[in-house]
Amino acid sequence: MNQYQLTKLAKRVGFYALIAVVMVYAIFPFYYAVITSLKPSSDLFRVDFWLSTVDFGNYVQIFTQKSFVRAILNSIIVSLSVVFIALLLGITASYALGRVRFRGRTTVMLVILGVSMFPQVAVLSGLFEVIRGLGLYNNPAGLILSYTIFTLPFTVWVLTTFMKQLPMELEEAAIMDGATPWVTITKVFLPLMWPAMATTGLLAFIAAWNEFLFALTFTLTDDQRTVPVAIALISGGSQHELPWGPIMAASVTVTVPLVILVMIFQRRIVSGLTAGAVKG
């Protein structure tokens, strides 16, 4: 083996070692959560990197809790509604912002961007008043409303960038064929915008699914809560005991769907995110 081959090998080893470090750093917490959730509560505080016995007791425990199942259901309803509303408004807004020439278009875009810069806490109390005023306190609809406010700027921006890239002549061809703006959007643009919609839709879904602060503030009773709050409020037998097992089981349960979704859409997410940056 000569010098050249040696350096090549060393570089290779170094490369994979680095990847291994990154992998461990990123995945280990989740891995440990999975392990913990599958341990019986008696083994909980014994540090163990491999699973010796598999115990589904924690899962049984959380799924027999009515409030947790209810919370999952609430989360699904809220997240899907947010995605649906955000995409519907996002697509129509992006058509107006990307395709229609009107005075103040840039201003509108900047205002939309500005809205997304406020930290959640800053608007919390104001939003609380709004939601109470609308009679949406302790109601999933209140969460849908508040999440949509924070999801829309991103959705509108990404979709507008994407919409601007679609050739003008395509729209004109549709006009010549007698299509109204609505038909143009639904029959011509929508099918071409799937990558962008998958990206923004998924990110909106994740944001709504994981949101904690609003969910905690705007809901009161167990049957209106979403999963992140429900997990935080899982309590043990006494106030001195934190029930790590069930908490981990619940966390894994709500994370797995996201991981699967991201894996399915990962190619699209990348192509959708870079769509605005580089011209294909």
Partner 1 sequence: MASVTLEKLNKTFGSTHIIKDVDLRVGNGEFVVFVGPSGCGKSTLLRLIAGLESISDGELRIADDVVNDLPPRERGVGMVFQSYALYPHMTVYENMAFGLKLAKMANETVDERVMATARILQLEELLHRKPKELSGGQRQRVAMGRAMAREPRILLFDEPLSNLDASLRVQMRNEIARLHHRLGSTMIYVTHDQVEAMTLADKIVVLRDGRIEQVGSPQTLYQQPATRFVAGFIGSPTMNFMPAELLGGNEEGCRVQAPGLGELSLPQDASGQGPGAELSLGVRPEHLRLAEAEGDNRFEIVNVEYLGNEVYVYLEPREGDTLLIHRSEAPSDWQVGQDVALRVDVEHTHLFDASDRALAIATQRHAA
**Site residues, partner 1 (CB under 8 A):** 167, 169-170, 172-179, 183, 187-188, 191-192
Q: How far is the CB of 187 from partner 1 (least distance, A)?
A: 8
Q: How far is the CB of 193 from partner 1 (least distance, A)?
A: 10
Rg, the chain, Cα only: 24
Nearer to partner 1 by Cβ, of 190 and 220: the residue is: 190
Nearer to partner 1 by Cβ, of 183 and 207: the residue is: 183
Report the amino acid identity of residue 190. L
Contact (CB, 8 A) for 254 and 231: yes
| b/e sequence 96-122, b meaning 16+ C-beta within 10 Å | ebbbeeeeeeeeebeebeeeeeeeeee
Nearer to partner 1 by Cβ, of 139 and 165: the residue is: 165
Nearer to partner 1 by Cβ, of 115 and 179: the residue is: 179
For the four alpha carbons of 225, 229, 231 and 233, in that order, the dihedral sign comes to negative
Nearer to partner 1 by Cβ, of 60 and 173: the residue is: 173
Q: Which helix (H) or strand (E) holds 37?
A: helix 3-37
Q: How far is the CB of 248 from partner 1 (least distance, A)?
A: 44
Q: Report how far residue 134's alpha carbon sits from residue 278's, in angstroms, rounded to the nearest whole number.
A: 43
DSSP one-letter string for 190-239:
GGG-HHHHHHHHHHHHHHHHH--HHHHHH--SGGG--HHHHHHT---SST
Contact (CB, 8 A) for 272 and 158: yes
Q: How far is the CB of 180 from partner 1 (least distance, A)?
A: 9
Q: How far is the CB of 188 from partner 1 (least distance, A)?
A: 6
Q: How far is the CB of 183 from partner 1 (least distance, A)?
A: 7
Nearer to partner 1 by Cβ, of 129 and 169: the residue is: 169
Q: What are phi and psi of 167, to 5 degrees?
A: -60, 140
Q: Report how far residue 49's alpha carbon sits from residue 64's, in angstroms, rounded to the nearest whole number.
A: 28
Contact (CB, 8 A) for 241 and 169: no
User: What are the structure tokens assigned to 196, written together?
Assistant: 């962008």
Nearer to partner 1 by Cβ, of 54 and 176: the residue is: 176
Q: How far is the CB of 190 from partner 1 (least distance, A)?
A: 9
Q: How far is the CB of 200 from partner 1 (least distance, A)?
A: 19
Nearer to partner 1 by Cβ, of 46 and 101: the residue is: 101
